Chain A
Amino acid sequence: KQEVTQIPAALSVPEGENLVLNCSFTDSAIYNLQWFRQDPGKGLTSLLLIQSSQREQTSGRLNASLDKSSGRSTLYIAASQPGDSATYLCAVRPGRTSYGKLTFGQGTILTVHP
Chain B
Amino acid sequence: EAGVAQSPRYKIIEKRQSVAFWCNPISGHATLYWYQQILGQGPKLLIQFQNNGVVDDSQLPKDRFSAERLKGVDSTLKIQPAKLEDSAVYLCASSLAPTRHGGEVYEQYFGPGTRLTVT
Please tell me if B42 contacts chain A, counting CB pairs below 8 Å: yes
Query: Closest CB of chain B to A45's CB: distance in Å?
Result: 8
| Structural contact, A43 and B105, CB atoms closer than 8 A | no
Q: Which of B39-69 contact A (CB under 8 A)?
A: 40-45, 48, 55-56
How long is the Cα–Cα vector from A98 to B54 in the complex, in angstroms? 12
Central interface residue in A4, A31, A89, A101, by most chain B CB within 10 Å? A101
| Interface flag for A81 (CB, 8 Å) | no
Q: Flag if B112 contacts A89 (CB, 8 Å).
A: no
Interface residue A71 (Cβ < 8 Å from any Cβ of B): no
CB atoms of B108 and A42 under 8 A apart: no
Residues in A whose Cβ lies below 8 Å from that of B56:
98, 101
B111 shortest CB reach to chain A, Å: 5
Q: Are A104 and B99 in contact (CB under 8 A)?
A: no
In the assembled complex, B75 has its CB within 8 A of some CB on chain A: no
Do B42 and A93 have beta carbons less than 8 Å apart? no
Interface residues on A, range: 20 to 34
Interface of chain B, helix or strand or loop or mixed?
A: loop
Chain B residues near A46 (CB, 8 Å)?
Answer: 107-109
Q: Number of contact residues on B: which range applies?
A: 20 to 34
CA distance A105 to B95 in the complex (A): 21
Task: Look across to chain B and name the residue whose beta carbon is closest to the beta carbon of A31.
Answer: B105
Is A64 interfacial (CB 8 A cutoff)?
A: no
Minimum CB distance partner of B100 in chain A = A99
Query: Which residues of A53-97 are within 8 A (CB) of B?
Result: 89, 91, 93
In the complex, the answer to whether A32 meets B105 with C-beta atoms within 8 Å is yes
Q: Is A114 engaged at the interface, CB distance under 8 Å to the other chain? A: no
A100-B31, A100-B105, A101-B48 given; A4·B113 CB < 8 A: no
Counting from the closest, the 9 A-B pairs by CB-CB distance are A104-B42, A43-B110, A100-B98, A44-B110, A99-B98, A99-B100, A43-B112, A106-B42, A106-B41
**Residues of A with Cβ closer than 8 Å to B?**
4, 31-32, 41-46, 49, 89, 91, 93, 98-102, 104-107
Q: A31-B102, A43-B4, A43-B93 are in contact. List 14 more A-B contacts (CB 8 A).
A: A41-B113, A43-B91, A43-B110, A43-B111, A45-B110, A89-B42, A89-B43, A99-B100, A100-B33, A100-B55, A104-B44, A106-B40, A106-B41, A107-B41
